[in-house]
Amino acid sequence: MCPTEPFVLSGGKDRSVVLWSIQDHITSFAADKAAAKSPGSFGSIIKKTGDGNDKAADSPSVGPRGVYQGHKDTVEDVTFCPSSAQEFCSVGDDSCLILWDARIGSSPVIKVDKAHDADLHCVDWNPHDNNLILTGSADNSVRMFDRRNLASDGVGTPVHKFEGHKAAVLCVQWCPDKSSVFGSSAEDGLLNIWDYDKVAKKTECTTRASTGLSFQHAGHRFVSEFLNLEAGKNGYLIARSILGSAM
């Protein structure tokens, strides 16, 4: 869901990224409803045909605002740039991270062919710094990319690689109120909270550089496919898993 406009992105096994407008659906639904009330009018919205038992078949058909081709395998996740309804990125089972701009066209603006060493499952764009993008992968790692360092020739070196999971990373999310903090959840049932500001900074009591891992929660006994970080009171973070439990 776009934070600035009523737009929605989708991606799937057809290897494409599709841009939709909620407003188009509302407008079509209103027009269809008005046409139905008008005597002797069949309206201008094309309806899907069904057997009468399928409610979805009776809804108006709304076309996408754009279809974007560039992945060679299933698209696993998509997200908008927080400051633009026209810019977004996607990741997929082809190990690619792709940046798009609807104003330019349907082809990738930047494509990182080997963003990870395995399938990519998730992506999130920093709401405080539009240059930073997180990705999570089946290689058990989280990587941070700076789009200023990405080239159109498929080359992209991550700013940092975060390792703290023992299984595929399924979800990554930036903290809503601190630009350097983010969370990740994985098939190992772990919820990790990271702080990039702590990376490569040595403390007074050790000469070892920090990995950036601030906190690890092992309370979820099942796979955590969903992560929702919220800013709580006194600086605490609230994290919810797919099962609905919170910590």
Residue 140 maps to a domain: yes
Residue 46 maps to a domain: no
Beta bridge partners of 79: 89
Residue 109 maps to a domain: yes
Residue 132 maps to a domain: yes
Give first-to-last CA distance, the chain, whole Å.
Answer: 25
Total structural domains in the chain? 1
Q: pLDDT tens digits for 186-215?
A: 998 888 999 999 886 654 555 555 688 887
Residue 209 maps to a domain: yes
Q: pLDDT tens digits for 80-101?
A: 999 999 999 999 999 999 999 9
Say what the pLDDT of residue 35 is: 47
Say what the pLDDT of residue 147 is: 94
Residue 81 maps to a domain: yes
Is pTM, for the whole model, over 0.85? no
- What residues contact residue 126 under an 8 Å CB cut-off, 6+ apart? 82, 132, 133, 134, 174, 179
CATH number of the domain where residue 106 is located: 2.130.10.10
Residue 165 maps to a domain: yes
| Alpha carbon distance 191, 179 (integer Å) | 19
Q: pLDDT tens digits for 37-53?
A: 545 443 344 455 455 55
Residue 41 maps to a domain: no
Q: Tell me whether strands 141-146 and 132-137 are parallel, antiparallel or unpaired.
A: antiparallel
Range of the domain at 164: 11-21+67-240
Q: Please list the rounded mean pLDDT of every run of 10 residues in the chain (247 residues).
A: 88 96 65 49 45 57 90 98 96 97 95 95 96 97 95 82 94 91 90 88 54 77 56 57 50
